[in-house]
């Protein structure tokens, strides 16, 4: 594990993440040591790349290219639904948190570079004849009809760049 | 690349990320099993060396996800799959 990040920073950031998670109906992994190590990884990536990309994925260092794997990643919610945990297992479902079931191993669902590019082009080409375009938060699914997406998602707090044109 | 000495169960190679909890568990498991293995933290590499190792991982695991364990250049285990790893190294 990288050791450039102090224990105090890790504790603080873990507390912040836990508070935000609970406020939004999400849960951090109750395995404290495991979670602390993941948070240490997130902070190491913040140092390295300038953003908290997933500790269990190899970031390219190009923010635009890594946008979908900045924590919380685009794949967290479907992985919680299917496996009870997100890919790195920082987030788990209520059942897993309560010890009622164990999380399953999570296979990688992030598409390869070529498929990601194709999907991005497809999203950009949404035809629309609505009075307002509809924007979708790729992290939590929040929808809104307005000229531009909000600066910050009012539900999960991710920035505007995580929105896609939905309709 | 680092080498952890141990019982020879063939060439056991672990491709990992230094920030990843599942990679850490995989490394711990192999160490606890007393198996000799090599590992590399791909996120700590840069430039040409990194490109080279990424292509190497891609050959075994086209998604280039971590941890990837390759045994004797034939058996590939993607993710921390404890039972599969134990079986593959005969421990």
Tell me the per-residue pLDDT of B56-83, one tens digit each, with 9 for 90 and over. Answer: 999 999 999 999 999 999 999 999 999 9
pTM score, two decimals?
0.90
Q: Cis before residue A72, ω within 30 degrees of 0?
A: yes
Q: How many domains does chain B have?
A: 1
Same domain, A58 and A135: no
Instruction: Return the CATH number at A123.
Output: 2.20.28.10
CA-based nearest distance A112→chain B, Å: 6
The predicted pLDDT at position A105 comes to 83
Q: Is residue A36, in this structure, part of any structural domain at all?
A: yes
Q: Is residue A59, in this structure, part of any structural domain at all?
A: yes
- Would you tell me how many other CB atoms lie within 10 Å of the CB of residue B5? 9
User: Whole domain around residue A50: which residue ranges?
Assistant: 7-96
Nearest beta carbon to residue B20 from set A56, A106, A110: A56
Same domain, A42 and A89: yes
- Indicate if ipTM > 0.85: yes
**Chain B residues closer than 8 Å to A88 by CB:** 20-22
Instruction: Give the 3-state secondary structure of residue A55.
Output: coil
Instruction: Return the CATH number at A53.
Output: 3.90.460.10
Q: Is residue A35, in this structure, part of any structural domain at all?
A: yes
Q: Is residue A105, in this structure, part of any structural domain at all?
A: no
- pLDDT tens sequence across A30-63: 999 999 999 999 999 999 999 999 999 999 999 9
Query: Of B30, B28, B36, nearest to B5 (Cα)?
Result: B36
Cα separation values, B77 from A80, A93, B34, B58, B84, Å: 23, 26, 18, 13, 7
Same domain, A62 and A19: yes
**Chain B residues closer than 8 Å to A58 by CB:** 17, 42-43, 54, 64, 66
Is pLDDT above 60 for B9?
Answer: yes
Same domain, A122 and A89: no
The predicted pLDDT at position A3 comes to 55
- pLDDT tens sequence across A64-77: 999 999 999 999 99
d(CA B58, CA B54): 6
d(CA A1, CA B9): 26
Q: Choosing among A34, A56, A88, which should be mutated to test the B contact, i.e. which has the most B CBs within 10 A? A: A56
**Chain B residues closer than 8 Å to A10 by CB:** none
User: Considering A66, A96, A126, which residue would you say is the last residue of a domain?
Assistant: A96
**What is the share, in percent, of chain B residues with pLDDT greater than 90?**
98
Same domain, A90 and A43: yes
* Residue B76 at interface with chain A, using a CB cutoff of 8 Å: no
Q: How many domains does chain A have?
A: 2
Instruction: Return the CATH number at B80.
Output: 3.40.30.10
Phi/psi at A158 (5° precision): -80, 155
* Residue B45 at interface with chain A, using a CB cutoff of 8 Å: no
Same domain, A61 and A121: no
> CB distance A58–B19 less than 8 Å?
no
Nearest beta carbon to residue A58 from set B24, B64, B81: B64
**What is the share, in percent, of chain B residues with pLDDT greater than 70?**
99
CA-nearest residue of chain A to B16? Answer: A56
Task: Output the DSSP codes for B55-89.
Answer: HHHHHH-TT--S-EEEETTTEEEES--HHHHHHHT
Q: Is residue A120, in this structure, part of any structural domain at all?
A: yes
Task: Output the DSSP codes for A13-51.
Answer: HHHHHHHHHHHTT-EE-S-HHHHHHHHHHHHHHHHHHSS
Q: Is residue A103, in this structure, part of any structural domain at all?
A: no
Same domain, A84 and A133: no
Q: What dihedral do alpha carbons B53, B58, B63, B68 form, nearest 10°?
A: -60
**What is the share, in percent, of chain A residues with pLDDT greater than 70?**
98
User: Considering A67, A96, A125, which residue would you say is the last residue of a domain?
Assistant: A96
Instruction: Report which of residues A161 and A113 the model is more confident about.
Output: A161
Instruction: Report which of residues A60 and A4 the model is more confident about.
Output: A60
- pLDDT tens sequence across A105-138: 899 999 988 899 998 888 878 777 889 999 999 9
H-helix or E-strand spanning residue A77: helix A76-83
Q: Is residue A2, in this structure, part of any structural domain at all?
A: no
The predicted pLDDT at position A165 comes to 92
Same domain, A85 and A137: no
Same domain, A136 and A88: no
User: Whole domain around residue B20: which residue ranges?
Assistant: 2-88
Longest dimension (CA), chain A: 53
Same domain, A80 and A123: no
């Amino acid at each position: 594990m990288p050791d450039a990040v102090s224990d105090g920073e890790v504790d603080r950031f873990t507390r912040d993440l836990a508070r935000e998670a609970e406020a939004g109906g999400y849960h951090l992994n109750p395995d404290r040591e495991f979670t602390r190590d993941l948070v240490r990884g997130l902070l190491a990536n913040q140092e390295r790349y300038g953003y908290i990309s997933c500790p269990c994925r190899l970031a390219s260092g190009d923010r635009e290219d890594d946008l979908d794997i900045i924590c919380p990643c685009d794949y967290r919610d479907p992985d919680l639904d299917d496996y009870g945990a997100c890919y790195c297992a920082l987030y788990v479902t209520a059942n897993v948190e309560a010890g009622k079931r164990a999380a399953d191993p999570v296979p990688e669902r992030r598409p390869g570079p070529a498929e990601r590019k194709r999907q991005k082009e497809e999203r950009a080409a949404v035809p629309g004849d609505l009075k307002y375009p509809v924007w979708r938060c790729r992290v939590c699914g929040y929808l809104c009809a307005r000229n531009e997406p909000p600066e910050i998602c009012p539900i999960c707090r991710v920035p505007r760049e995580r929105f896609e044109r939905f309709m | 690349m680092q080498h952890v000495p141990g019982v020879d169960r063939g060439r056991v190679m672990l491709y990992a990320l230094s920030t990843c909890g599942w990679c850490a568990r995989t490394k711990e498991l192999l160490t606890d099993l007393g198996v000799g293995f090599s590992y590399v933290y791909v996120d700590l590499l840069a430039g040409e060396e990194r490109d080279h190792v990424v292509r190497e991982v891609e050959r075994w695991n086209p998604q280039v996800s971590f941890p990837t364990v390759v045994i004797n250049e034939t058996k590939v285990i993607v993710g921390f799959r404890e039972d599969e790893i134990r079986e593959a190294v005969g421990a």
